[in-house]
Amino acid sequence: MTDRAEVLTFIGDSITDGERRTDPRGLGGGYVDAIADELAARGSSAIVLNRGISGDRVAHLRARWERDALTPAPDVLTVFVGVNDTLVAFFEGRATPFGAFEEGLDDILSRSAELVGRLIVVEPFYLEGAESADVHWREGSPFIREDLDRRRAIVRERAAAYGARLVVVQDPLTALAAERGTATIAPDGVHPSATGHRWLARAWLATYDATTG
């Protein structure tokens, strides 16, 4: 009798999505794909599921949580959300209120804590110095940093409250962007380049490895 393969589910917004719908494996072309490849190279039989949807905010995750996060019965569940709750201000005129953001995040984590063996939460990030001229938020860096700083604090607090491991992203990526340039890491300040996705994959794997002993 063989052991059941470990199920790793990733849920979030476009950074997780990685255009997975056009990928035959359903993993996309971002950090989730890189993680799956690395685990396979290690000889792992883990089943990797990508449940990211571009544009999602915490309310969207909350609405589909049972179906996309819990029904697959993951052994490890990774949540990466928050930046769109800030950026929606540039599309709809108002960012998600902090209270609503905290309530939504608390709800999805509380619903998962007793059902999922290991929770991993990735903190949202934003890099200043975006060079893409066609992004709506290009001139809004001061607002984005201030707003997202508050959401990041909420993410850290809620992750700690439910015993989730946190993947720290903002400070390391800020330092990397200072060294290599924002365009090399995330050209629009939000969506990682191939280099940025590889970095995210390594950061996630370091956190994952720390949970496996």
Question: Which ranges of 67-193 would DSSP assign to H, the alpha helix?
Answer: 83-87, 89-92, 98-113, 141-161, 170-180, 182-185
End-to-end CA distance of the chain: 24
Length of the chain equals 213
Residue 79 lies in a domain: yes
pLDDT tens-digit readout, 39-91: 999 999 999 999 999 999 999 999 999 999 999 999 999 999 999 999 999 98
- Assess whether pLDDT exceeds 60 at residue 2: no
Q: How many domains does the chain have?
A: 1
What is the pLDDT confidence band of residue 1, given thresholds at 50, 70 and 90? very low
**Those residues with Cβ within 8 angstroms of residue 16's Cβ, 6 or more apart along the chain or in another chain:** 10, 28, 30, 31, 32, 50, 51, 52, 80
Asked if residue 1 belongs to a domain, the reply is no
Q: Is residue 212 part of a domain?
A: no
Domain that holds residue 181: 7-207
| pLDDT confidence tier of residue 141, bands split at 50, 70 and 90 | confident
Rounded to 5 degrees, φ, ψ at 169 are: -125, -45
Helices (H) and strands (E) in the chain, counts: 10, 5
What's the CATH number where 108 sits?
3.40.50.1110
Predicted structure pTM score: 0.94
| Inside any domain, residue 94 | yes
